[in-house]
Amino acid sequence: MELQVINIGLTSYALGFIAWLVLGGLLLTGWRGRMQGGLLVLAVFVTLLWCGIHASWAGWNFPSASLVQAAEPLYFAAWVIFLHGLLGRVQKRIGLVTSLIYMLSAALFLAPLLAPYISASLLLEDTVTKYYFLGYVLLSIGGLFLVENLYRNTRPEQRWGIKFLCLGIGGVFAYDFFMYAQALLFNHLDMNLWAARGTVFMLVVPLIGIAVARNPVWSVDVYISRDAAAHTATLLFAGCYLLFMAAAGYYIREFGGDWGIVLQTVFLFGAVVVLTALRFSGQLRARIKVLLGKHFFRHRYDYREQWLRFTNALSLCKQEALPYECVVRAIAEVVDSSGGLLWLRRRDGSFEQTAHWGVSGGETEILPADSTLARFLKERDWVINLEEYRDDPELYSYLELPDWVMELPHAWLVVPLLDQGDLLGFMVVTLPRANVPFNWELRDLVKTTACQAASHLAQLEAMQALAEARQFEGFHRLSAFVLHDIKNLIAQQSLLIGAASEHKHKPEFIDDAVDIMEHSVAKMQRLMQLLKTGVSGGKPVTTNLVVVARTAVNNCTGDRPVPDFDCELEEIWLTMDGDRMTSVMENLIHNAQDATADDGTVTVSLHCRGSEVDILVQDNGCGMDADFIRDRLFRPFDTTKGDTGMGVGAYECKEYVNSLGGEIQIESEPGRGTRMHVILPLQGREQSVNGNYKHMESVG
């Protein structure tokens, strides 16, 4: 029987040694040299050494019994030193008790070591044993006295940080008091209590570890993530549940008779189904997180994880088909809520519901801009707890909530969405899946996430406004181009009407007039197509540039001075939209005519230079200075023609030439005319000079 107790003692103290070794390793790696952290490391490693000595003596009778007895008071003294360090900041009138404990510990340490050198006549075994047990009873009482003073003299709001330490160390002292009091009563030590002592020391290690994690002033960075704790708790619960179900299934099989195996199978299947349902229960996960956050962590939320998760959720909202609903979901999930509703500001300043997630209601309700709710949210930037508002409305000053807000299903919080002091809207969050106390920590977390969400919503609205502005810009730009071409057509028709009274009886005039009308109708049809589609109706095809240039010159002969065309080549084939290139050259020629007197000259010529073709429009008109060419010539809607100009002709020319891979080069001086070079590339299989193609595309 005694041998069995010794084997149990070896296992018990070995388990205690391993547990304290793990805690000591964590503390030593996280210790930053502060005094209180050093005292804690000292106490842990002395306890570790104490467990190792007892395990060695229980298993191999090493070291001697006197050394084991001498090691007994060491862990008492080590933990008293640590507690004294804590009490020194709480209560300074504790020195007398700790001094007595130190002296008693020293006496109990020296007594076994000096026993061999003291005369046997001075030692009466029974008397010494009683005093020995009495000394440890007094040490245990002193330790309990220190633990009780530490807890009682700590402020109530700070006791959560040391309560697990008091439970752990106080539990060890209480166990030693019970063990040595019984030994003092019966004059011998109960070996079963002694053997179980190592396991008791192992069980208090998690309690001390939690206390260490809650007190960073002890200079120890022991960290367990909330997810790891939640998963561990879930696995522990699942394991206990399965063990209980297995035991129940065993008894059903043993006492179920002929139906035992069937009943066991059905019972175990039902147990697994219930466990699976609980595993996927959001409410159960939320309750476990609340339980762990409330009792095992200094702060309920892991702010780094929360911030990264929330930021990632907002970034994914940009890809969602319903981005506003995504923002509502992101804020609601921060507090484990099952739903939320979002109101955003309209142009008139009032607020209307824009999105909802997980809950519905209040779709038709509009909050006026001058309501007390809107004013309160903007001025106070305060998260409104509707339960608190129902219990004590005076906490919210002048606030009067609309009835429809109070009647929203499961409404819990009203969260303002402010961006740089501007109230963009507000959100109503429903009750969480678990009962979460609404304190300063939760309020600050919700306010922080709401501020980030408001910035995201402001950016989202700005992007939508920018997209609308770009659409209007594109439409206005297209309209300007269309109006520019219409202006040219009107000028052409005006010349025709002006000459009709004089030449209407000439057949040649009638033929020219019909050609002009056909050209105008074709041009108007292309403009209609442009307005419908937003793009040019002409598809790029292989087109003879010489024909395009000659057509553009012929279309401009109605103005003065009449342009001359100079080209020795018959064919220059390029892949382009012939209509748009004709319009480009007409714009350049019209600009040259406008800048030149009626008796001046305007010449259009085409030349090939290696892999490029140069379209030159030259005049001897008024010319332009370098500043005008750089700052104004190709700027859209900037014109020098007064009310008759649109300011888009040169801009359109440059845009299309650049789209073909070419460029426009200008040589001009005031009073000396202008030379405009349109340089286009002659590269690729679909571009040719002088008849490499048997067909020719007619233009105009």
pLDDT at 409: 85
Domain boundary residue, one of 176, 196, 218: 218
Whether residue 574 lies inside any domain: the answer is: yes
Q: Residue 96, class by beta-carbon neighbours within 10 Å (0-12 exposed, 13-18 middle, 19+ buried)? A: exposed
d(CA 481, CA 236): 74
Whether residues 616 and 676 fall in one domain:
yes
Task: Return the amino acid letter for 204.
Answer: V
The closest of 476, 492, 417, 403 to 451, measured between CA atoms, is 417
SS (H, E, C) 539-552: CCEEEEHHHHHHHH
pLDDT of 604 strictly over 90: yes
pLDDT at 632: 77
Count of domains observed in the chain: 3
Whether residue 665 lies inside any domain: the answer is: yes
Whether residues 89 and 200 fall in one domain:
yes
Whether residues 171 and 248 fall in one domain:
no
* Overall average pLDDT of the 348-359 stretch: 88
User: How open is the CA angle 139-142-144, to the nearest 5 degrees?
Assistant: 110
Whether residue 92 lies inside any domain: the answer is: yes
pLDDT at 679: 92
Whether residue 142 lies inside any domain: the answer is: yes
pLDDT at 278: 59
pLDDT at 119: 45
* Overall average pLDDT of the 69-73 stretch: 84
pLDDT classification of 598: cutoffs 50, 70, 90: confident
Whether residues 162 and 271 fall in one domain:
no
Higher-confidence position of 257 and 685: 257
pLDDT of 217 strictly over 60: yes
In the block, tokens 């005031």 appear at: 670
pLDDT at 693: 39
pLDDT at 699: 32
Whether residue 253 lies inside any domain: the answer is: yes
Whether residues 268 and 147 fall in one domain:
no
Whether residues 106 and 240 fall in one domain:
no
Higher-confidence position of 228 and 198: 198
pLDDT at 91: 54
Whether residue 509 lies inside any domain: the answer is: no
Per 3-state DSSP, what percentage of the chain is helix, strand, and coil (rounded to 5)?
Answer: 65, 10, 25
Whether residues 173 and 284 fall in one domain:
no
pLDDT classification of 700: cutoffs 50, 70, 90: very low
Q: What percent of the chain has pLDDT over 90?
A: 7
Whether residues 69 and 198 fall in one domain:
yes
pLDDT classification of 540: cutoffs 50, 70, 90: confident
Whether residues 104 and 212 fall in one domain:
yes
Per-residue pLDDT reduced to its tens digit, 465-498: 776 666 666 666 666 666 666 776 777 777 777 7
Whether residues 129 and 249 fall in one domain:
no
* Overall average pLDDT of the 535-562 stretch: 79
Whether residues 164 and 60 fall in one domain:
yes
Q: What is the CATH number of the domain that holds 586?
A: 3.30.565.10
pLDDT classification of 601: cutoffs 50, 70, 90: very high
Q: Is 85 helix (H, G, I), strand (E, B) or coil?
A: helix
Whether residue 481 lies inside any domain: the answer is: no
What sign does the dihedral 593-551-634-529 (CA atoms) show?
Answer: positive
Domain boundary residue, one of 281, 296, 311: 296
Q: What is the mean pLDDT of the chain?
A: 77
Whether residues 30 and 167 fall in one domain:
yes
Whether residue 24 lies inside any domain: the answer is: yes
Per-residue pLDDT reduced to its tens digit, 97-121: 788 888 888 888 887 776 665 544 4
Q: What percent of the chain has pLDDT over 70?
A: 71
pLDDT classification of 12: cutoffs 50, 70, 90: confident
pLDDT at 619: 93
pLDDT at 219: 47
d(CA 662, CA 664): 7
Higher-confidence position of 134 and 269: 134
* Overall average pLDDT of the 263-268 stretch: 62
Per-residue pLDDT reduced to its tens digit, 645-690: 445 567 778 888 888 889 999 999 898 899 999 999 985 434 555 5
Written as one string, the DSSP assignment of 453-477 is HHHHHHHHHHHHHHHHHHHHHHHHH
Q: Which domain holds residue 104?
A: 2-218
Domain boundary residue, one of 243, 261, 296: 296
